[in-house]
A and B are shown apart, each in its own frame.
Chain A
Amino acid sequence: MAKIQLLINEKRYTPEVDPDMPLLWVLRDIVGLTGTKYGCGIAQCGACTVHLDGKAVRSCSIPVSTIGERKITTIEGLSRKGDHPLQLAWVEEDVPQCGYCQAGQIMQAAAFLKQNAHPSDEEITKAMTGNLCRCGTYQRIHQAIKRAATTTTTQPPR
């Protein structure tokens, strides 16, 4: 057991945990942030996606002791009022069915759009191919990302 300093959604936490424990289970079982989901535990499905310093990572496969100073953002911290352009686009396109994978999908897409504000269809597909959706909402996920990318345009698309 070790005391580990974490900065999650701009809030400091100091949980005393097994240093091997993946970030996913620290978030869910210790901190009580259950928006991040357990899907496979081996970084194959993307349900557990969170941001470390803005980059999308699979929290099920990152031991909490390796995080250090990096800022953690979960779906609960993506926006203050649930109004991130992707969250709004997800509502507009009526994307989810069961919804279980969608927090991970949104976190993946949010990190991607930060790097590539005007993606092509192929770039969206490539960026999202690591995230599974058993309900099969891929087409609407794709549409929602396009919508968000268009609505956040501050400069003319390439």
Chain B
Amino acid sequence: MNRRDFIRASALAGGGLMLAFQATAQLDNTAASEEMLGDFIRITPNGDILFQFVKHEMGQGVSTAMAQIIAEELGADWQRVKIDFPLANMARYQNDRNGGHDTGGSCTIIYQWDLLRKAGATARQMLVTAAARQWKTTEANCIAENNFVTWKGTSRKLSYGELATAAANIPVPIDIPLKESCSYQIIGKPKNAKLVPDIVTGTIQYGLDVQLPGMLIALIARCPVFKGKLKSYDATQALKVPGVKKVFTTQPIAGLQTDAPYMPHDIREGVVVVADTFWAARKGKEALEIEWDEGPNAKYSTEDFEHLAERRAMHRTDPTGYIGDENAVSNLTHVRKTLRASYIYPHQLHACMEPLNCTVHMQPDGCEVWMGSQAPNLIVSELKRIYHFPEEKIKVHLFPSGGGFGRRYYPDMAVEAAFISKEAGNVPVKMIWTREDDHQANLAHLFQYMEYQVALDKDSNLYAWYEKEIRTYTWAAKYADPQLPSMAYDIPNIRFDFEDMIADELVHSSAWRGVVSHGRCYSECFLDEIAAELKKDPYEFRVSLLRHGRDIYTGDQYPVSAKRLLGVLTLAAEKAGWGKPLEAGRGRGIAICPYGNSYCAAIAEVTVRDQKLTIDRITLAADCGNVINPSGAANQLAGGVVWSLTALLYGGLPIRNGRAIYTNFHQNKLLRMNECPKIDVHFVDSDDEKPWGVGEISTPLGVPSVLNAIYAATRKRIRKIPLAANAFQV
């Protein structure tokens, strides 16, 4: 990559340094492709370092980790670093994943790493130059650290705050050397998340907490059946509720939003109640009389859908990729025995603790939006597409959110709220999804049906692996490039088939923390089945298949490294005490996986007595390269396991006659403290100096590791979750 950096500095009104860092990167092989990258720091005269955070903080800790990176190179006093949430700016932060607002795929830190270090180092150099000029000495005599520039060998020092305004007038230097990792004082050190003090005092503002003068509250009664439509409604009673101002339909904006630039979303038809308070809007909503045309899904249920998936799984499609002989499982000359199994990962709800919401104030020539969003860029592009406002007239205020998990990537909330604000007479409106709406008319995690078959040769070696994935969600082209299972096991013949079920959907599928890795990690259960067939220890069996140590190209962005998988597997086994005897009714299970370019292993320890399952302990080992914030990363890995255990025990989104059965948390249970196992997190001392993602890496592992542990304890194979619906008392 041939990269030229442009850094602009300017004096802040009221004194101080504003550093805008932009780089134009040009890929050598695609001369026309040009990306803008950007970020900011502001240094105020009193010495506060205000990190301009343009990504989305949804609990994954990136605001703190990004600030650590820039603060390290800047030589900042960590206590003086603060997180600022500026307005979204499409011109400055273009949506190219690297520099844009877009937050997802566990990519934020890795894509920002170089940029933030350069930005910090450049600002530090400018402060040094400013000090050297003031003292009339050489820059080599000046050391910048801990928010001060000091003159070596003297007692003279100037604070960053005192230097900021002078530094802003210095020409921006280029090619500033970066620190050696051995001298890091902030990167790699456990730091408490910057937002914690505001969280524990209740002063942090999420999108749902926005208050504006004259603001109204809107709730929507959405069609309970996917693909259904509004037939008629009567608002007479609703309009009698004190505080209810207006009732109208969302039909003009409803439907599948396929014109969206990517990641199509769905807006269900509904009836809006606008009122002065949430409570009045809720009473008004309950008083609505609505008749729905339930459409093609009116008689469709989860069982029908799963049967359809099962039938699809039975036949072969064109492989999306293969190694060796694509039909090796059927090769009678070599094959002694075949094993076959299918696994289901059902739809899941995101259930973000902060219910979905968006506040919009429409005006004749533009609008303002207040929302915690993973993709404010999509909000801008959707509002531009629908209302033809120029980008600069769509002001999006960025907020942290009470959980995103992929759901807050989609811009449907902003489209709904903008429409409502306009119809309500261009007044500011906060549109809220009730928790019941969240359960009954929402996008959901994609469904996966995994079909596996393996062939063993006469020496009981793993000769061929066949895998077919059936899924309800794709990004764009369905695997335009060859794709293989996400694993690095030494198997001479591997084949991967894929089929989508988008046209047959029960609900609109979307990305859910961990996305496609969940179903695809069932390969770790099937591998356990093979080990059991061969009477091999699940750990030793994996080690034997990974010992080759090579990188396997599976069609994903990064190859899967057998060496790194082996590294996390070995560490987890050591820490979990793999092989130590357990009493009857107890068992351990392993699962390992890559995610992006991170690797993780989980070892679950369970007790099953009288069909009652207790998950005692989960030991995690991760290789995420350079860990920026060990405290935040450990929190992510532990939380990711809890995420998967909820899906394992209680998850799913059962649908009967088109309608979601669950209405709220009394039916859709989430894991609670009394069910939470002890979770130990260990990091491999990685050779990799780059910081790879940690937000999703552990999420696919809770399910297969616990299912394998249940098998070890009971000799019972479970191939479908949740366990609560599978004769297990949990």
A residues with a Cβ closer than 8 A to B are 1, 17-18, 20-22, 25, 28-30, 32-42, 44-45, 47, 74-76, 78, 82, 86-87, 90-92, 94-103, 106, 125-126, 128-142
Contact = CB atoms under 8 A, between A and B. Distances in A.
Nearest to B644: A136
Nearest to B434: A41
A134 B60 contact: no
Interface string B510-521: 000000000000
A91 B192 contact: yes
B298 interface: no
Interface stretch (B76-84, B299-307, B397-405): B397-405
Interface in B344-361: 351-355
B324 interface: no
A116 B186 CA distance: 39
A87 B198 CA distance: 10
Nearest to B672: A129
B201 interface: yes
A146 B352 CA distance: 27
Contacts of B436: 41
A94 B192 contact: yes
B435 A102 contact: no
8 contacts: A18-B242, A74-B202, A78-B201, A98-B58, A98-B404, A100-B352, A100-B353, A100-B403
A137 to B, nearest CB: 6
A125 B674 contact: yes
B355 A39 contact: yes
A44 B435 CA distance: 11
Given A99-B400, A125-B674, A136-B638, A36 B202 contact: yes
B676 A138 contact: yes
Contacts, number: 188
A85 B243 CA distance: 41
Nearest to B698: A136
A30 B277 CA distance: 8
B673 interface: yes
A140 B192 CA distance: 12
A106 B200 contact: yes
Contacts of B217: 29
A92 to B, nearest CB: 8
Contact of A29 (B199, B277, B352, B355): B277
A117 B208 CA distance: 34
B665 interface: yes
A75 B202 contact: yes
Interface stretch (B146-154, B554-562, B569-577, B628-636): B628-636
A87 B643 contact: no
B604 to A, nearest CB: 15
Interface in B128-165: none
Contacts of A101: 353, 402
B200 A91 contact: yes
B203 A136 contact: no
B678 interface: yes
A138 B664 CA distance: 21
Interface of B: 58-61, 190-193, 195-197, 199-206, 208-209, 211, 217, 242-243, 277-280, 283, 351-355, 400-405, 432, 434-436, 631-632, 635-636, 638-643, 664-666, 670-674, 676, 678-679
B397 to A, nearest CB: 15
A16 to B, nearest CB: 11
A40 to B, nearest CB: 4
Contact of A42 (B196, B665, B678): B665
Given A39-B353, A76-B201, A140-B638, 9 more contacts: A17-B277, A40-B435, A44-B664, A94-B631, A97-B639, A100-B352, A100-B402, A134-B643, A138-B676
A2 to B, nearest CB: 11
Pairs of residues from A and B, 5 with the lowest C-beta to C-beta distance, nearest first: A35-B202, A136-B642, A100-B402, A98-B59, A97-B59
B195 A99 contact: yes
A136 B641 contact: yes
B197 A91 contact: yes
B196 A99 contact: yes
B353 A136 contact: no
Contact of A95 (B190, B196, B435, B642): B196
Nearest to B192: A94
Q: Which of A30, A36, A103 has the most CB of B within 10 A?
A: A103
A41 B354 contact: no
A132 B351 CA distance: 11
Nearest to A18: B279
A60 B196 CA distance: 24
A20 B353 CA distance: 24
A82 B197 CA distance: 8
A35 B201 contact: yes
Given A25-B279, A97-B639, A132-B672, A45 B202 contact: no
A20 to B, nearest CB: 7
A41 B432 CA distance: 13
A144 to B, nearest CB: 10
Contact of A97 (B203, B434, B636): B636
A21 B196 CA distance: 31
A141 B200 CA distance: 12
A98 to B, nearest CB: 3
A97 B666 contact: no
B199 A96 contact: yes
A56 to B, nearest CB: 15
A58 B190 CA distance: 34
Nearest to B640: A136
B277 A44 contact: no
A139 B58 CA distance: 19
Nearest to A81: B201
Contact of A22 (B201, B279, B635, B640): B279
A61 to B, nearest CB: 12
A138 B642 CA distance: 9
B162 to A, nearest CB: 29
A140 to B, nearest CB: 7
